């Protein structure tokens, strides 16, 4: 089954009352948009922090991920609402690689282990359903929370791949190889 065929069927349990599933336009709330515009939330986001997000820009992003056969934007649904996202993208099934990123935009759910649980669940899904064995992650070097989260899951810093983005920000690259 292809990823496009799997998307409408996906739901990954995290724990009682919490799960992951692909984000749909109907999931976009003002709280989601407001979280993306919060400077303490978006300070480590890429180019999307350069402009104010709206229901329209977020809807476009969600739709783009829904249509792309190599991307899945999972919503992290906790206590009846969407609290963040995990994006599995640049999926290369022939090379068995994918990139993963996480954003908890509802600060009430920060530092409670949701990012780690969500990334781990997506990795397990991608390994089982897609045969992915190498996972990559990139982040701004000063994002210590993200660095610590990925390190706790077994990702290793790949210094040889580090670079500087178009905004002159140092980026670190991390990788997890499943054997």
121 vs 179, which has greater pLDDT? 121
* Helical H segments across 71-143, by residue range: 114-125
The partner residues of 27 in beta bridges, in order of sequence, read none
How many whole angstroms separate alpha carbon 119 and alpha carbon 45? 17
Q: Which CATH code is given to the segment(s) 3-177?
A: 3.40.630.30
With cut-offs at 50, 70 and 90, classify the pLDDT of residue 52.
confident
How many whole angstroms separate alpha carbon 16 and alpha carbon 37? 29
pLDDT at 48: 55
Characterize the bridge pairing of strands 97-104 and 81-92: antiparallel
pLDDT at 49: 58
Q: Give pTM, 2 decimals.
A: 0.91
> Which sequence spans correspond to the domains of the chain?
3-177
With cut-offs at 50, 70 and 90, classify the pLDDT of residue 109.
very high
State the number of CA atoms in the 13 A half-sphere of 123 facing the CB. 23
What is the percentage of the chain residues whose pLDDT exceeds 90? 61
How many whole angstroms separate alpha carbon 25 and alpha carbon 60? 9
Least reliable range by pLDDT among 6-20, 63-77, 105-119, 149-163? 6-20
Least reliable range by pLDDT among 7-11, 27-31, 146-150, 168-172? 7-11
């Amino acid at each position: 089954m292809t990823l496009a065929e799997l998307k409408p069927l996906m739901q990954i349990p995290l724990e009682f009352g919490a799960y992951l599933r692909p984000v749909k336009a109907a999931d976009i709330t003002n709280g989601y948009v407001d979280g993306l515009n919060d400077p303490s939330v978006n300070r480590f986001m890429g180019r999307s922090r350069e402009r104010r997000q709206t229901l329209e820009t977020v809807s476009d992003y969600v739709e783009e991920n829904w249509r792309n056969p190599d991307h899945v934007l999972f919503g992290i649904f906790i206590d009846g609402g969407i609290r963040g996202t995990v994006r599995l993208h640049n999926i290369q099934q022939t090379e068995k690689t994918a990139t993963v990123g996480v954003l908890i935009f509802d600060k009430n759910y920060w530092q409670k282990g949701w990012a780690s649980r969500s990334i781990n669940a997506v990795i397990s899904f991608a390994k089982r359903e897609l045969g992915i064995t190498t996972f990559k992650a990139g982040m701004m070097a000063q994002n210590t929370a993200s660095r610590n989260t990925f390190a706790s899951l077994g990702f290793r810093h790949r210094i040889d791949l580090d670079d500087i983005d178009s905004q002159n920000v140092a980026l670190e690259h991390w990788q997890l190889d499943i054997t």
